[in-house]
Structure 1
Amino acid sequence: MKRNGSRGCVTRKTRFGSRERDWLKGDAQRGCVCLYGASEPQPPASGPQTSTSTQPDLKLVLCSTKTTAEELCAQREVQGLYLQLHGDLIREHLSKVPDAIECEHLPTQVGYDDELQSEKPVNADQQERTLLKGVFSVRKGKTQLHKWAERQVILCGTSLIVASVKDSLTGKMHILPLVGGKVEEVKRRQHCLMFSSAGPQAQTYYVNFDTLTDYQRWHRQASKVVSQTISLVDLSCYSLEEVPEYLFYCQDVTHLNLRHNFMSLDGPGGLINFSR
């Protein structure tokens, strides 16, 4: 019952007591679940304020293998539920999961209504986790003939993508395959990296980062890509509902791991688009 690495969520409402123990002992089909997300009003701080604040609540709820989602919702006065199986990734609302969930850690029969909706728990930003993106000063080629200019730079999958800041995906894009290439520190310029593709037609881009933190993040991620022997992209366990759009520009991807995600079939990033 930890959330965000903190024990602050374990309150008197989530601790096991004699009532919970008696309930569990009464029948092997009985259990408990923690429901998070309903807010309870908190008294205002001392002073002239008139409004009340709300604080997220985590509550232990008694249930059995025959308890439906509708009954759980009624206890918390909410319209729908999201599901997290045994500490796994958070799933969408229950209209996207099967009627029966065969899992010893939660009720095996979960009823739902296709129209149920509720606020989705906030996961880590998917874009931050699956790609690096920013506007930096960029120079193409190893000679001094090319000038430095601000460009949008994306590191996604197996490629470095350089595009116009204004046009982004709609304008001209330069795509640099990195597998088997090089990423090197440029010592004569602070926080600068040189990215080079492999092969006789190798291209090179210099990217000047604003901070040491940005420099280190990009260096670390790019180093993993260039050291690969195959064009593998591992997006497992990211709780993705669609493939990142920039990944479709990586033409050399041969191995794509999408294990433990919640991919839809349709939509711009759905499974039906893999032929791209």
Structure 2
Amino acid sequence: MKRNGSRGCMTRKTRFGSRERDWLKGDTQRGCVCLYGASEPQAPALAPPSSSAAQPDLRLVLCSTRTTVEELSNQRDGLGLYLQLHGDLIRRLDPSERPLQIVYDYLTTMGYEDPLRIQQEAANSDLSCMVRFFSERPVNADQQDRTLLKGVFNVRKGKTQLHKWAERQVILCGTCLIVASVKDSLTGKLHILPLVGGKVEEVKRKQCLMFSSAGPQAQTYYVTFDTLPEHQRWHRQASKVVSQTVSLVDLSCYSLEEVPEYLLYCQDITHLNLRHNFIRLDAPGGLCNFNRSYSAM
């Protein structure tokens, strides 16, 4: 396997020491997986204790091809594992799946046949650039922005100056702007502002946006943001919503395990794109929890 430019994955702390090498000897079904996202050192699975330190963001976990996700998770307070291949979708592994066997199968598919060579290649942490395991589900900024935006901001209702500014939790999800009636909480009344066909405009007040719904009974909310990047992100996302000709929410290809609960407040959604996710029908947060039908694209 050629490794040009992959030295960044390999550090002294993630290489095998003598104890790890002793663990591999005599059994080609023994190896390790590189685990991202671990916040503290963990004991190797089915292996002798290791004296080598581990990086918080990349840890070598010793195991065998028979070690299941459930066994690994039991050493981490029952937390699950996630898998990403080639930087593509991230999925939660089932408890019965075997992470090291997944790596071995991957190498076999690439053309490796000798068991000892497969063990050697699987032990290189730079392989994690192609087969990556996470101890918790990573969420990047782009994914979070596409699903929902939320925060506590200064809000004023209506165009008249008689209304006062107040700090409220604000959520932009799907096709709606949601404003809570109390600060930093969704326990009170929620004000729902449908945005499709409405307007979002920048106003003279620094880093402030005006959100207006469509129709003769249109409502307006002013929201002031703390930072310019935040202001720009909300403006960009809301502008996409108001310009839509249909009430479409596109949540495709983002490794979702459940539909965001705030979509239930979007009464004007007509098309919901959930392709290439991992949402189950009858699981918590699944499609069966919807109390109305959507047209899935």
Query: In structure 2, what residue type is equivalent to 1:73?
Result: T
Residues 153 and 8 (structure 1 numbering): CA distance in 2 closer, same or farther, change over 3 Å?
same
Alignment size in residue pairs:
221
Alignment of 1:207 with 2:219, yes or no, is no
Residues 54 and 269 (structure 1 numbering): CA distance in 2 closer, same or farther, change over 3 Å?
same
Q: Which of 270, 279, 288 is 1:254 aligned to?
A: 270
Deviations along 1:107-154, whole A, 9 cap, x unmatched? 79xxxxxxxxx9734411665551110111111111112111111110
Residues 267 and 138 (structure 1 numbering): CA distance in 2 closer, same or farther, change over 3 Å?
same
Alignment of 1:36 with 2:34, yes or no, is yes
Comparing 152-161 with 208-217, which one deviates more in the overlay?
208-217
Matches within 5 A, 1:11-90: 35-37=33-35, 53-55=53-55, 56-57=58-59, 71=65, 73=67, 78=72, 82-90=82-90
Show the counterpart of 1:48.
Answer: none
**Which ranges in structure 2 are unaligned for 5 or more consecutive residues?**
16-30, 42-50, 74-79, 110-132, 293-297
Show the counterpart of 2:124.
Answer: none
3-state SS in 2 of match to 1:221: helix
Deviations along 1:146-196, whole A, 9 cap, x unmatched? 111111110000000000335733311110000111000111x11111000
Equivalent-residue separation in structure 2 for 1:34 and 1:129 (angstroms): 35
Asked whether the equivalents of residues 82 and 137 of structure 2 are also in contact (C-alpha less than 8 Å), the reply is no
Higher relative contact order, structure no. (Cα contacts within 8 Å, ≥ 6 residues apart): 2
Equivalent-residue separation in structure 2 for 1:156 and 1:243 (angstroms): 11
Q: Which of 232, 235, 239 is 1:216 aligned to?
A: 232
Matches within 5 A, 1:174-193: 174-187=191-204, 189-193=205-209
Question: How far apart are residue 57 of structure 1 and its match?
Answer: 4.1
Deviations along 1:6-31, whole A, 9 cap, x unmatched? 861157999xxxxxxxxxxxxxxxxx
3-state SS in 2 of match to 1:170: coil
Question: How far apart are residue 202 of structure 1 and its match?
Answer: 0.8
Matches within 5 A, 1:83-162: 83-95=83-95, 120-124=135-139, 127=144, 129-162=146-179
Equivalent-residue separation in structure 2 for 1:148 and 1:210 (angstroms): 14
Equivalent-residue separation in structure 2 for 1:176 and 1:34 (angstroms): 51
TM-score, normalised with respect to structure 2: 0.62
Asked whether the equivalents of residues 85 and 105 of structure 1 are also in contact (C-alpha less than 8 Å), the reply is no
3-state SS in 2 of match to 1:265: coil
Deviations along 1:221-256, whole A, 9 cap, x unmatched? 101111111111011122111111111100000111
Deviations along 1:14-52, whole A, 9 cap, x unmatched? 9xxxxxxxxxxxxxxxxxx994218898xxxxxxxxx97
Equivalent-residue separation in structure 1 for 2:257 and 2:96 (angstroms): 11
3-state SS in 1 of match to 2:269: coil
**Higher helix proportion:** 2
Residues 224 and 180 (structure 1 numbering): CA distance in 2 closer, same or farther, change over 3 Å?
same
Asked whether the equivalents of residues 152 and 184 of structure 2 are also in contact (C-alpha less than 8 Å), the reply is no
Asked whether the equivalents of residues 192 and 207 of structure 1 are also in contact (C-alpha less than 8 Å), the reply is yes
Residues 185 and 167 (structure 1 numbering): CA distance in 2 closer, same or farther, change over 3 Å?
closer
